[in-house]
């Protein structure tokens, strides 16, 4: 296997992004943050990619950020000045949230801090039965900086999210599944295969319709029902003109598997 800290592969319309620092528990350096952003945008822009799987090598999915030697840690305690402006438009959490391509976190091992936020930012989570989710933020004197305070209450409600974040709780795979934080818990040797199988199932459907469905779900989180129904109808109009719609109707009438091209 390559010694690159982030690996990228494509097969059968599914892109796989793998954190490859097992000796460092797949903690993410500033350089890796940039790589992750670039690879997510690359996969989303590729019409051949219909699903994205994010996973790790070794026993950890991602144990958080590795900021050793970074400007942030070098300046700790040196100044009380705060940055006048933060441009977060091209950081992994905002990029991940805005992708139209479905994302799957294959939690081969535990996810802590930033790794937990990253997993929660994916659309679907497959978790190893030995893995854990560790919300260690407040125990380190910080907040869930990468979307956790926005995502977690929407996934499991305010009270449970408050309990997890305020206490810095660590959740087992069974607890995560019971709360609805993950779609499925499987043996740790089956995590990636299960995630790829789900990615392949997504890839068999009309990609334009899948992407539009994801956009509508994302928009619906902040819309009234009436506004949302209106936007859904506007999304339907171009889909009705697509070749994939014609193929979907033809394959249904002819009782055969569809062959979608994403056009």
pLDDT, tens digit, 9 for 90 and up, residues 88-121: 667 888 899 999 999 999 999 999 999 999 999 9
At 169-181, the pLDDT tens digits run 999 999 999 999 9
The pLDDT of residue 217: 93
Quote the Cα angle for 67-70-73, to 5°: 70
At 8-65, the pLDDT tens digits run 999 999 999 999 999 999 999 999 999 999 999 999 999 999 999 999 999 999 999 9
- Which alpha helices (H) appear in 63-190, and where do they start and end? 71-74, 92-98, 114-121, 148-156, 158-167, 173-179
Which residue bears the tokens 């959490």?
Answer: 93
Instruction: List C-alpha distances in Å: 184 to 102, 151, 195.
Output: 16, 19, 10
Name the CATH code of domain 6-203 (choices 3.30.930.10, 1.10.10.10, 3.40.50.2300, 3.90.226.10). Answer: 3.90.226.10
Position 82 pLDDT exceeds 70 = no
Minimal CA–CA distance to 238: which of 200, 208, 260, 261?
A: 208
- List the structure tokens of 124: 């679907």
Mean pLDDT of 139-151: 83
Sequential DSSP letters for 192-243: HHHHHHHHHHHHTS-HHHHHHHHHHHHHHTTS-HHHHHHHHHHHHHHHHTSH
Mean pLDDT of 137-165: 88
Q: What gap in Å lies between CA 247 and CA 68, rounded to an integer?
A: 53
Tell me which of 82 and 172 has the higher pLDDT.
172
């Amino acid at each position: 296997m390559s010694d690159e800290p982030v690996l990228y592969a494509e097969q059968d319309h599914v892109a796989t992004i793998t954190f490859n620092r097992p000796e460092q528990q797949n903690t993410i350096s500033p350089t890796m943050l940039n790589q992750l952003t670039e690879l997510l945008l690359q996969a989303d822009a590729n019409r051949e990619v219909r699903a994205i799987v994010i996973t790790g090598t070794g026993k950890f999915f991602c144990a958080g950020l590795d900021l050793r030697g970074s400007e942030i840690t070098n300046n700790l305690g040196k100044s009380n000045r705060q940055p006048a402006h933060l441009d977060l438009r091209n950081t992994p959490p905002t990029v991940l949230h805005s992708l139209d391509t479905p994302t799957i976190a294959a939690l081969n091992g535990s996810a802590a801090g930033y790794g937990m936020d990253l997993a929660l930012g994916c659309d679907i989570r497959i978790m190893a039965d030995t893995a854990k989710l560790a919300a260690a933020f407040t125990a380190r004197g910080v907040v869930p900086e990468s979307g956790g305070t926005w995502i977690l209450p929407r996934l499991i409600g305010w009270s449970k999210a408050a309990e997890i974040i305020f206490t810095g709780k660590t959740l087992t795979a069974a607890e995560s599944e019971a709360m609805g934080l993950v779609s499925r818990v499987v043996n740790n040797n089956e995590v990636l295969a299960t995630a790829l199988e789900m990615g392949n199932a997504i890839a068999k459907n009309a990609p334009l319709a899948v992407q539009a469905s994801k956009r509508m779900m994302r928009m619906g989180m902040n819309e009234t029902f009436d506004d949302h129904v209106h936007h859904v109808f506007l999304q339907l109009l171009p889909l009705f003109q697509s070749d994939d719609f014609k193929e979907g109707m033809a394959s249904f009438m002819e009782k055969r598997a569809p062959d979608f091209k994403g056009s």
